[in-house]
Amino acid sequence: MRPPQEDQGREPSAAGPDTASGGPAGGGEASVLGPAESAPPAGEADQVADDLDALLADTQRERDEYLDLAKRTKADFENYRKRMGAEVEAASGRGKAAVIREVVPVLDDLERAIQAAGLDPEGDSEDGLAHGVLLVFRSLRDSLGRNGVEAVDPKGEKFDPMVHEALSTLPAEGVESGVVVEVMQKGYRLGEQLIRPARVVVSE
């Protein structure tokens, strides 16, 4: 057996771990569970709010710029589409007019042949050749009419230099001056476009 003194000497060391754990461990736990972090200073919060407002203002400005650009682009495209449509229509009209200028002299020749034969352009003939000429004349005339071509036959109308071409003047009893008394060659128009002026004789 050991002397009692030795057991008594061991008591302080047994109590020692409790004291040690209570000391440093307790101190470490206090550092982890310390007081909550404090809020940022008021100046920093104001700066963040100002930055957000500036960012929002820049975003709205860019949005408005892109919206204006889209509107201008749409308007430019609509103007371009209308302009191209008008140009295509004008080109089509010019093409039609060029073809009609080539065709109307043929119609003139047929009409002169009918008049020389003493035939009625709206009538008929038992002669096969004359009948064919009448049919061709009326068919060509009607085809031009379906495409908007109108004859200009201004006999008895006031002379208009915009649509008539005066070949000569002639004294005409009982007719005031400046009236078309004879049509030497009919004119033709396509809508508002003059294809060929009527060639006329005008009273003095």
Any residues with CB less than 8 A from the CB of 201 and at least 6 apart, and which? 166, 167, 168, 169, 170, 180, 181, 182, 183, 184
Alpha-carbon distances, residue 35 vs 22, 28, 30, 32 (angstroms): 21, 14, 9, 9
pLDDT in tens, 164-190: 999 999 888 888 999 999 999 999 999
At 42 the pLDDT is: 63
The rounded mean pLDDT for the chain is 82
pLDDT in tens, 125-175: 888 899 999 999 999 999 999 989 999 999 999 999 999 999 999 888 888
What angle do helix axes 42-116 and 128-146 make, rounded to 10 degrees? 160
At 16 the pLDDT is: 46
Would you say residue 21 has pLDDT above 50? no
Structure tokens at 127: 């002669």
* DSSP annotation string for 145-171: HHTTEEEE--TTSBP-TTTEEEEEEE-
Backbone φ, ψ for residue 23 (5° rounding): -85, -75
At 201 the pLDDT is: 95
Would you say residue 9 has pLDDT above 80? no
Is the full-model pTM beyond 0.75? no
Residue scoring higher pLDDT (77 or 49) = 77
What is d(CA 200, CA 168) in angstroms, rounded to the nearest whole number? 7
Residue closest to 183 by CA, chosen among 115, 87, 129: 115
Q: Identify the structural domains of the chain with CATH numbers, from first to last.
A: 51-147 (3.90.20), 149-204 (2.30.22.10)
At 39 the pLDDT is: 55
